[in-house]
A and B are shown apart, each in its own frame.
Chain A
Amino acid sequence: MAVPGALVIVLFFILPLAVVVAEAFTDGGGAFRKVFADVVFWRGLAGTLVLGTVAPSVSLIVGFGVAWHLSSLPENLRTNLQFWISLPLTFSGLIVAYGFILALGRSGFITLSLSYLGSDPATFSGFLYSPAGLAFAYSYYLIPRVVLILLPVLVNFDRTQIAAAQSLGAGGIRAVMDVLVPQVMPSAVAAFCLVAAVAIGAYGTALALVGSQVNILPLILYSRISDSGADFPSAAALSVILLALCTLVLAAGELYASRRERRDAAS
């Protein structure tokens, strides 16, 4: 029964990726040498690392706050809020991009509102078009993912445990560090890595927001691919690097979470 599904996945998923990897290695690693010699690549890598760290950090902090609050609400209200919070998950990246242009662009709603308070619109909206600013827009659809991963853990977390630790003499911070953090850690790390991988690999929102002006790896790859007379081996090498980055980050989170679970199950 798995045959049709397996066929579809092999033909339209495995085969294209395998061909990209093969293309990258056609000239014995020359394509990689060329990519590594290019200063644009290193700038893109730096931008991607900023984006891939800032976006998941912001998303994890905000997502935890929201999930913690939601977990303390009555179930009915929680389900309702969860509906609104999950909305961005199915939004096209383009909706997010244009919404943020309207809010934070050069003559955006928030940009102009703040300019009445004395901020300079050009500097403020310039932020949106930097990798750190992109992280702010990316968080729009990353935060819901974090909330949905953390919410079940926090709903099942028994808050009297913190009170119990405190009554045994632990300080507030100590109680949280020793009781809450170990229980949330596996899911938090998995959520961080998941949204980091999404942020590293995506290009749609960034392209719509800034064209290909900002230095992040997926946008560099996109302009290499869409250029006519493209240099396919070096685009393939860049693809392999991007693929490896996303897979490694995601795998690290998964391995950490499953190892912690197994250790907890054994103890």
Chain B
Amino acid sequence: MAVVTGIYLLYLFIPIVLLFVGSFGETWTNSLLPSGMTLDWYRELLDDGSFRRAFIVSLEVVFATCVACTLVAVPLAYALFKSASRGVMVAARIMFLLPIAAPPLVLAFGFILVFSSDALPWLGSIWLLIAGHVVLTLPYLLQTLVADMRHLRLDALELAAESLGASFRERFFDVVVPLLRHSLGSGLIMVAALSIGEFQLSNLIAGFLSRPYPVVLLQAFYGATGFACAATVVLLSLALLAAAGGAYASRSASAYRQGTA
């Protein structure tokens, strides 16, 4: 089975390597690999106003999505964890699967129908885009948080705090939130990675001036290979950075736990 893993890793890395190689190549048409070596494509990308704006929009959306997700997910995960009844657990399981059961394309169409109405005319605004990203990424953060609460045996810790006279408010902010910081960190990295790469919903609901990076990136695919590669590499690098950050966060979390256990 080592052969399968080997071939699979080739399949995994060939597109990534080709993107990097292509972004530094001067010309690449009808040849195995590009000829010449240049940084011009990155320079051109930097000078491109619409890509710059899209990149800034993406950063704003990612930041706002992370903040909103945290404010919504921490209390919701806590409520789910607390009500350990069977019905709520089934509802939670269904919610974790919703982004797959309901394709972003269908959700985007729903956004177009609902938010282009006179009552809720929000289509095209950046904060509707943020709301969309929150809904798409929330299940992943919830899942991470609820799993961590179970793993930590949070109920026992809280019971201990309660028996020592801690109020609900003290328990939530002095016990629950600090204990969750590691899983919140790695969950938010996941949220950020998904949000920055999100295309399927954004492509249909973003306003012309608040198009995030991936939506603008698609236009580059019809132009010069080198430019398209460089523009894709930017997104790819951010994803790699997020993955490295996530691995670092989970490693330091487990080191921390081993240290305290």
Using a CB–CB cutoff of 8 Å, the interface residues on chain A facing chain B are 1-2, 4-6, 8-9, 11-13, 15-20, 23, 62, 65-66, 68-70, 72, 81, 83-88, 90-103, 107, 109-110, 112-113, 140, 143, 194, 197-198, 200-204, 207-208, 218, 221-222, 225-226, 232, 235-236, 239, 242-243, 246-247, 250-251, 254
Contacts and interface: CB of A to CB of B under 8 A. Distances in A.
B8 interface: yes
Given A95-B235, A96-B15, A66 B8 contact: yes
A108 to B, nearest CB: 8
Given A1-B79, A23-B113, A246 B19 contact: no
B163 interface: no
Contacts of B242: 90
B139 to A, nearest CB: 9
Contacts of B57: none
Contact of A1 (B78, B100, B221): B78
Given A83-B243, A92-B199, A226-B204, A4 B72 contact: yes
Interface string B95-112: 101101111111111111
Contacts of B111: 12, 16
Nearest to A20: B110
A92 B134 contact: no
Nearest to A115: B32
B221 A101 contact: yes
Contact of B14 (A91, A94, A101, A110): A110
A18 B29 CA distance: 48
Given A9-B135, A204-B199, A204-B200, A69 B5 contact: yes
Interface residues of B, number: 76
B102 A247 contact: yes
B249 interface: no
A95 B239 contact: yes
A115 to B, nearest CB: 10
Contacts of B196: 92
Contacts of A221: 105-106, 109
A242 B103 contact: yes
Given A62-B4, A91-B236, 9 more contacts: A66-B5, A69-B4, A99-B16, A109-B33, A200-B103, A201-B103, A225-B105, A243-B102, A246-B101
A64 to B, nearest CB: 9
A232 B110 CA distance: 11
Interface of B: 1-2, 4-5, 8-9, 11-12, 14-16, 18-19, 22, 29-33, 71-73, 75-76, 78-80, 93, 95, 97-98, 100-114, 131-132, 134-135, 138, 190, 193-194, 196-200, 203-204, 214, 217-218, 221, 225, 228-229, 232, 235-236, 239-240, 242-243, 247
Contact of A235 (B18, B109, B214): B109
Cβ-closest 6 pairs across A and B: A99-B15, A16-B110, A201-B103, A92-B197, A5-B76, A65-B4
21 contacts: A11-B131, A12-B131, A18-B110, A19-B114, A65-B1, A65-B8, A83-B243, A90-B190, A90-B197, A92-B197, A94-B235, A98-B15, A107-B30, A112-B31, A140-B11, A201-B104, A204-B203, A221-B105, A225-B109, A236-B109, A250-B101
Contacts of B114: 15-16, 19
Given A15-B114, A113-B32, A201 B106 contact: yes
B244 to A, nearest CB: 8
Contacts of B14: 99, 103, 109-110
Nearest to A9: B135
A225 B201 CA distance: 12
B173 to A, nearest CB: 13
A87 B243 contact: yes
